[in-house]
Copies of this chain bind each other. A is one copy, B any other.
Amino acid sequence: SWKGAPEIKTADGWSFKPRGRVQVDLAGIDTPVGVTGVRGGTATEFRRVYLGVDGKIPGGFAYRVEADIANGEVELTDVYMSYGTGPLTVTAGQVKPFNGLDDMTSDLFTSFMERAAFVQAFGFERRVGLSAQYKGKALLLQGGVFGDNAADLTDSNHSLSIDGRAVFMPKLGDTQLHLAASGHWRDPNDPAATVRYRARPFVHTTDVRLVDTGLLDVASERGLGLEGAVIAGPFHAAGEAYWQTLKRSGAADPTFFGGYAEVGMVLTPGDARGYKDGAFDRLKPSKPITAGGIGAIEVNARYDHLDLNDGAIIGGRQQAALIGLVWAPIDYIRITANYGKLWIDDARVATATGDRDYSADTFGLRTQIDF
């Protein structure tokens, strides 16, 4: 069969498929004088360039090896083997540790070019470990024990995390419901360990973070997330809330908060947002331009909130109103345009006049292909 690229299969259950994606971004940010400076403005970049393969092996085995080569290095993304013949699947290798809807949704299918601020701020990333998933008709349970991202697995890194997520996802007639909760616990097993919570301003072409806690010592880290979403015909709504608590030795334990609420609508008749296995999925045009149609068009709006202030720690608070347009002329190509208005309080980076409360404008344009 063909899924952007050929999937080669045999009658006895083998399969093999090349995988890839390219995201070319033009994006920019306009801030008060003295904030981003020459590191802001409009710039272009390859946001992601993935190449890889996956396959199935008779008997219930599967694997994936994929990496992001956009930045001159090889950043391993999904690299795993799995085994499962029924509703239960066991996976060894590097995967996403089940930290919520926006993170678990592939970057190919997110509503906006960049994920919710808390996803980045709280350090969600793929980690090497052992995990399991139970998938019932309307229930999905995911959990695992993880070390660290493959790039950080030096011989003195003995950190350990336990992550889990439960998703209730009944289909009521044509309406897809999604209710979920996730939990995260992490022990760096290193008395000198630090964390730094910060997020880019919804624009990846700048490396400046307007909100940033700076380095904080950490004895352990605890996260709790709640998720809700609904897809009803062309409409969808989604929201998440996430609390990240830091245990520190000899200092107060701050809790930071992030979340978002979003609504969206697919404008082209007969098209709808995809959903699969506890995450949003591909927007497939019923009338692609290759069939004389105009593809699928979706508009989305989101309010995003990130609060990195707690007690004596002033990392800043960022609020954003985002609107976005997605155009999928065919299944595997997607053009995304975003505009965002940001309001920052207690910003890490002050303006030229020393002001730490200000607003900023961002925009982005992405051309994307995947197979």
Q: Which residues of A contact B (CB under 8 A)?
A: 2, 4-6, 8, 10, 13-14, 16, 18, 20, 22, 24, 38-46, 49, 51-53, 55, 57-59, 61, 63, 65, 67, 69-70, 72-76, 79-81, 92-94, 128-129, 147, 150-151, 153, 155-158, 190, 205-208, 288-290, 329-330, 332-333, 367, 369, 371
Contacts and interface: CB of A to CB of B under 8 A. Distances in A.
Contacts of A330: 57-59, 61
A147 B73 contact: no
Contact of A93 (B24, B67, B93, B150): B24
B147 A43 contact: yes
A49 B65 contact: yes
B81 A74 contact: no
Contacts of A57: 4, 330, 332-333, 369
19 contacts: A2-B10, A5-B53, A18-B53, A39-B155, A44-B128, A44-B147, A45-B153, A46-B76, A46-B150, A49-B79, A57-B330, A58-B330, A59-B288, A59-B329, A59-B330, A63-B369, A69-B74, A72-B75, A155-B207
Contacts of A208: 155
Contacts of A67: 69
Nearest to A37: B156
Given A16-B6, A72-B73, A58 B290 contact: yes
Nearest to A50: B65
B65 A22 contact: yes
B371 A16 contact: yes
A371 B75 contact: no
Given A94-B46, A158-B43, A288-B59, A151 B65 contact: no
| Shortest beta-carbon contacts, A-B, top 7 | A59-B290, A69-B74, A44-B147, A39-B155, A6-B8, A38-B156, A58-B290
Given A58-B290, A59-B289, A158-B43, A74 B76 contact: no
Contacts of A53: 5, 18, 20, 51
Contacts of A24: 81, 92-93, 128
A206 B61 contact: no
B155 A43 contact: yes
Given A43-B153, A59-B329, 16 more contacts: A5-B16, A13-B290, A24-B128, A39-B156, A42-B158, A43-B157, A44-B128, A44-B147, A46-B76, A49-B79, A55-B371, A61-B330, A61-B369, A72-B150, A81-B333, A81-B367
